[in-house]
Amino acid sequence: MSDDLAPLASLSLTHVHYDPTDPLSYLCAWLALVPQGLCVVYATLIWSTREAEVALLFAGQLACEALNFALKRLIKEERPRRMNGRGYGMPSSHAQFVAYFAVSIALFLLFRHQPPHPRVRRRNHTPMGLPERAAWSALGLAAAAAVAWSRVYLNYHTEKQVFVGAAAGTVSAVGWFLVTTVVRRSGWLAWALENPVARFLRVRDLVVEEDLCQAGWEKWDDKMTALKAKDKKKR
């Protein structure tokens, strides 16, 4: 075998540079993979739940990524001098991605999600009250802030690039929330859900009023209750 081997290349989608002697740098390397993980979450939820709200959220996420692509090539600002990445750095795509996701989830939980009152228990399930939804929203925003900060710590972006990315993601989330609100109130979403293709794919819009797992849980609870009643009769 020849000794003149071609140098290996790394897959930029998942390859992250970090300092192996610094535990915090190692943690930041994992935080850098959050957007890829969220894409898997999107795909899984869309396929498994067929919820219109999840699909709309993902559509806005794709639009947010397209905006980031355009802004980087319009601004053309380089990354930090001692950088650990390629391409333009303004605005940070990681910061924009997670800011859009976290703000969108917070807007949904605080303003769109309308579950039954927490005192109303349905099949051993207590809907989330406003304090719990606010806590989850705060947790999501804190996680997004950690991902954005990790980009500066790993020297992929400057503070300004991360701030602008987070601002662009926030504006995108608020703007898309308003657009989808109009789509809902105008009846366009209800019309789209009655489309033969949507019905064939079993697209539904339940998550606004109930948790993702609740409908399936009720069917399971009915089945188990029926089985227990059947066993009771046999005895």
Q: Where are the domains of the chain?
A: 23-234
Give the DSSP H or E segment for 93.
helix 93-107
Long-range contacts, 218-227 (Cβ 8 Å, 24+): 218/122, 218/123, 221/123, 221/124
Tokens of 128: 């989330």
For residues 12 and 86, the answer to whether their CB atoms sit within 8 Å is yes
Give the torsion through C-alpha atoms of 167, 169, 175, 180, to 10 deg.
-160
| Nearest CA among 35, 34, 96, 32 for reference residue 63 | 96
Q: Each residue's pLDDT tens digit in the chain (235 positions)?
A: 445 555 534 444 566 777 788 888 888 888 888 998 999 999 998 898 888 899 999 999 999 999 988 988 888 878 887 665 567 778 888 999 999 999 999 999 888 888 766 555 555 566 777 788 899 899 999 999 999 998 888 888 888 989 999 999 999 999 999 999 999 999 888 888 888 988 888 888 888 877 766 666 777 777 777 887 777 777 6
Whole-number Å distance between alpha carbons of 156 and 6: 27
Global pTM?
A: 0.81
